[in-house]
């Protein structure tokens, strides 16, 4: 059983998918804390509705990013968090945070990395004219959306797609692969070698 700490800034649909996977026993663990930098994040409401502990931390009350991250780490340590899950978290983590949870921080990005990193990935894909985009779950390193890739799912881009319509179809796939990736982590099946992640097969004997 792993303890999961979630960082979220917004509506929290990925958090909801993860809550469901925990409830269904797909993820072998529990969500110990949901922390947000946004007091009004709907993600906090979702957590509370599911009796999950929450914490709001106002960035403005801290000296700098590292100072802020140290406060998050303090809570994560108190909750004995094994895996930090970024679910629509809009802040870049400090190197201090990344080192404290090396290879134990996951993120989901709404494009097939390394294409279209950063903000508005779905808009970038539509504007570029790619025929296929999708989503990526990856471990977080010090770069932006650059860490080792765990799972990806492709989504077709249609001629009449807008940023919104593409985002909606990608989101459905996000809700599948994010819980899957966390499940694999909870089963101890993710093996990182350099920038590659290998998934250990289960022995069904």
Contact status: 87 vs ligand GRF (CB under 6 A) = yes
Beta carbon of residue 11, minimum distance to ligand GRF (angstroms, whole number): 4
Closest CB to ligand GRF among residues 56, 198:
56
Site for ligand GRF in 109-128 (CB under 6 A): 109-110
- The tokens of 190 are what? 């993710």
Site for ligand GRF in 2-41 (CB under 6 A): 10-14
How far apart (Å, rounded) are the C-alpha atoms in residues 80 and 83?
9
Closest CB to ligand GRF among residues 128, 198:
128
Beta carbon of residue 150, minimum distance to ligand GRF (angstroms, whole number): 14
| Beta sheet of 29-36, edge-to-edge order | 54-56, 29-36, 2-7, 83-86, 105-109, 132-139, 149-156, 196-199, 190-193
Cα 19 to Cα 8, 31, 198: the distances in Å are: 13, 8, 25
Has 109 been annotated as catalytic? yes
Mask of contacts with ligand GRF, 35-74, x by CB under 6 A?
----------------------------------------
Counting every residue written for the chain, the total comes to 205
How far apart (Å, rounded) are the C-alpha atoms in residues 15 and 132?
25
Residue nearest to ligand GRF (CB): 88
Catalytic residues, by residue number, are: 109
């Amino acid at each position: 059983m792993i303890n999961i700490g979630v960082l979220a800034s917004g509506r929290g649909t990925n958090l909801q998918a993860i809550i469901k996977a925990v409830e269904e026993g797909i993820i072998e663990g529990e969500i110990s804390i949901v922390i947000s930098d946004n007091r009004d994040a709907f993600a906090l409401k979702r957590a509370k509705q599911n009796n999950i502990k929450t914490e709001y931390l106002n960035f403005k009350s801290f000296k700098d990013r590292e100072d802020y991250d140290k406060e998050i780490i303090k809570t994560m340590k108190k909750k004995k968090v094994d895996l930090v899950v970024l679910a629509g978290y809009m802040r870049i983590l400090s190197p201090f945070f990344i080192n404290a949870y090396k290879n134990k921080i996951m993120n989901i990005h709404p494009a097939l990395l390394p294409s279209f990193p950063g903000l508005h990935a779905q808009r970038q894909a539509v504007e570029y004219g790619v025929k296929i985009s999708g989503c990526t779950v990856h471990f977080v390193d010090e770069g932006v959306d650059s860490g080792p890739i765990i799972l990806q799912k492709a989504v077709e881009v249609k001629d009449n797609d807008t940023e919104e319509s593409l985002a909606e179809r990608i989101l459905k796939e996000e809700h599948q692969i994010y819980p899957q990736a966390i499940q694999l982590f909870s089963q101890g099946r993710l093996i990182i070698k350099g920038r590659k992640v290998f998934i250990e097969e289960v022995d069904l004997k």
